[in-house]
Amino acid sequence: MSEPELAKRVADVLEVDAEGFRQRAEEDAEVLKDAVEDGAFDNPQAIVGLEYEFYAVKADDGSLRRVPRRLLELIGFEKELGLHNAEMTTSPQPLNAHGLRAQESEVKSQLEAALRVTETERMRLVSDALWTIPPEGEPASSYLTDSVERSVTDGAGHERPIRIATNMSGSARYHAMANTDRADAAGMCLDAPNVSLEADTVMPESLITSIQPHYQVAHAPDLPLYFTYALRIAGPLLALGVNSPFFPADLYDDVPAERILEEAWMEHRISVFETVLNDPTTGEGKVRFPRDLTDVDEAIDRIAADDTMVPMPVEPGERFDDQFPHFRRKHGTYWRWVRPVFDGSTRSAANARIEFRPIPAQPTVRDSVAFLAAFAGLLESLTRLEHPVVELEWERARENFYAAMRDGLEADLTWITNDGEETTDAFTLYDDLLAHAEDGLRNRGLSNEEAAKYLYPLRRRVRQAVTPADWKVTQVREELEAGAPFDEALETMQRRYVDRQRETLLEGSFADWIGD
């Protein structure tokens, strides 16, 4: 799509009446509440799914590459924010041994086929939380901030300037964020230790990629209980998964390399999403750790009442969830690290689920599926056994989350064990956490061996006290000690990451990277 065509589409989006959109979303919320009460979103069993994001690099040197749109269609992946991004979504499956195998097999089959196709383009898809080598010949700062202004005649006959990010996918919603009256509510910057970058669009968010496990509850009114437990496990699971301690080298301030290492947060992906989309002067921000829910109506009301950044146009449709189309649209910019979702193409497919967004993209498929299995197993077990961690104060759960962001497995996390004792001992915490994840999987019909196999990559991280972020920091530090300047040390680490992933992505795990 040409820039003038995209600018015209953005202008059309900006013509949507924000107040009218908000009112219709609130009316849709009442329709949705009635449907929940009628049992439309209930399922006979728990169901799981996964969103999995990647970025593309040149196969020979690991530098970032834009993915041709025709290639995305060919490999069956979906576009994401940046031109270098690609995303797959698995088909929902029942939470049992066959369903988890199906999830893993679907990811592997799609990804293996995609890798073969992209290889012919001298390109590779990478599963990683934050890219650090920009496109060849381009500084990361320019790639993330380049934009153009196009003039468009609006519906009233007035000329209107439209800002278009050069390296962003051609989605009017993405580009509209920088052109609405609510643009000031987005930070559109990076603000992290020793890194600062100002932008005119939300393009800096394209630095990051993630996996997003989904868990569909069997009975929609029970969603708040599952949600409360999901908030309590968010910090501990994030601490196990951290994978983004570094930014591209040219984004750093002029500071010593050792300072960068010492002050780096283990999961900068969290800060990127929050600072790009939140303005610290306007309150809590749209991207945040959410509060507990009291009932399912409150979950629906929160989405309907959320600040509308982009009131997208809504077309009539024949899907079941087209009965509440403005609510569905609004949900697309309801950014919380754990969020409820209500949708379904038909009444029989309608579901209420929890989307778990803290986990960054992982080194291998097996690691990603381990987090899906752990998340689902925990929600199964903790709710069924009425685990006392539900009594952990919300403020402490939030502190756990941001401590995990900063320090990974070295964070001081608070947990309540199955016997009701509060602990800050990491081994005690993870022994209890992973035991309940395994219990939840066994309760869904997995054998002891099957459950243990899914969780093995996470148990290994605990035992070795090593996360992907720790591995990256160690690689960079060793290069610096050997005399390399920081930018070269960072590139060496990143290329080594891609090379190790090439060997283990489909059949290995991060445990193979860290040895005995």
CA distance 267 to 231: 17
Query: So what's the pLDDT on residue 1?
Result: 63
User: Is the per-residue pLDDT at 415 higher than 60?
Assistant: yes
Query: So what's the pLDDT on residue 333?
Result: 87
Query: So what's the pLDDT on residue 183?
Result: 61
340 burial type by CB count under 10 A (0-12 exposed, 13-18 middle, 19+ buried): buried
* pLDDT, tens digit, 9 for 90 and up, residues 117-143: 999 999 999 999 999 999 999 999 999
User: Is the per-residue pLDDT at 9 higher than 90?
Assistant: no
Which residues have CB under 8 Å from 133's CB, separation 6+? Answer: 57, 61, 62, 63, 64, 248, 490, 491, 494, 495
First to last CA, the chain: 51
Query: So what's the pLDDT on residue 7?
Result: 87
Query: So what's the pLDDT on residue 185?
Result: 64
Span 153-176, average pLDDT: 85
Query: So what's the pLDDT on residue 108?
Result: 98
Split at pLDDT 50, 70, 90, the class of 164 is very high
Domain ranges in the chain are 3-153+164-180+213-512
Query: So what's the pLDDT on residue 124?
Result: 97
Residue of 340, 253, 333, 240 lying closest to 295 (CA atoms) = 340
CA distance 164 to 175: 6
User: Is the per-residue pLDDT at 505 higher than 70?
Assistant: yes
* DSSP β-ladder status, 47-58 and 85-89: antiparallel
What rounded mean pLDDT belongs to the chain?
94
* DSSP β-ladder status, 85-89 and 211-216: unpaired
Query: So what's the pLDDT on residue 153?
Result: 79
User: Is the per-residue pLDDT at 516 higher than 60?
Assistant: no
> What interhelical angle do 268-277 and 394-407 show, nearest 10?
110
Residue of 360, 374, 380, 401 lying closest to 460 (CA atoms) = 374
User: Is the per-residue pLDDT at 379 higher than 70?
Assistant: yes
Which has the minimum average pLDDT: 10-24, 42-56, 245-259, 367-381? 10-24
- Provide the Cα torsion 390, 393, 399, 402; round to 10°: 30
Span 227-256, average pLDDT: 98
Span 499-511, average pLDDT: 97
Split at pLDDT 50, 70, 90, the class of 156 is low
Split at pLDDT 50, 70, 90, the class of 181 is low
Domain 3-153+164-180+213-512 falls under CATH 1.10.3720.10 = no
Query: So what's the pLDDT on residue 155?
Result: 67
**How many helices, marked H, and strands, marked E, lie in the chain?**
18, 13
Q: Is 244 helix (H, G, I), strand (E, B) or coil?
A: strand
Taking phi over 0 as left and psi of -120 to 50 as alpha, with beta for the rest, 369 belongs to: alpha
* pLDDT, tens digit, 9 for 90 and up, residues 191-202: 999 998 999 999
Which residues have CB under 8 Å from 41's CB, separation 6+? Answer: 35, 220, 342, 344, 350, 351, 352
Name the token pair of 180: 């609405």
pTM assigned to the model: 0.96
Helix extents (H) in 332-393: 365-384
User: Is the per-residue pLDDT at 365 higher than 80?
Assistant: yes
Q: What number of other Cβ atoms are within 10 A of residue 76's Cβ?
A: 12
Query: So what's the pLDDT on residue 182?
Result: 63
* pLDDT, tens digit, 9 for 90 and up, residues 137-153: 999 999 999 999 998 87
pLDDT over 70 for what percent of the chain?
A: 98
Span 296-313, average pLDDT: 91
User: Is the per-residue pLDDT at 281 higher than 80?
Assistant: no
3-state secondary structure 63-94: CECCCCHHHHHHHCCECCCECCEEEEECCCEE
Query: So what's the pLDDT on residue 284?
Result: 80
- Provide the Cα torsion 187, 189, 192, 194; round to 10°: -140
Phi, psi values for residue 232, rounded to 5°: -75, -30
* pLDDT, tens digit, 9 for 90 and up, residues 31-85: 999 999 999 999 888 999 999 999 999 999 999 999 999 999 999 999 999 999 9
Cα dihedral sign for 370, 80, 268, 60?
positive
Query: Are the C-beta atoms of 398 and 421 separated by less than 8 Å?
Result: no
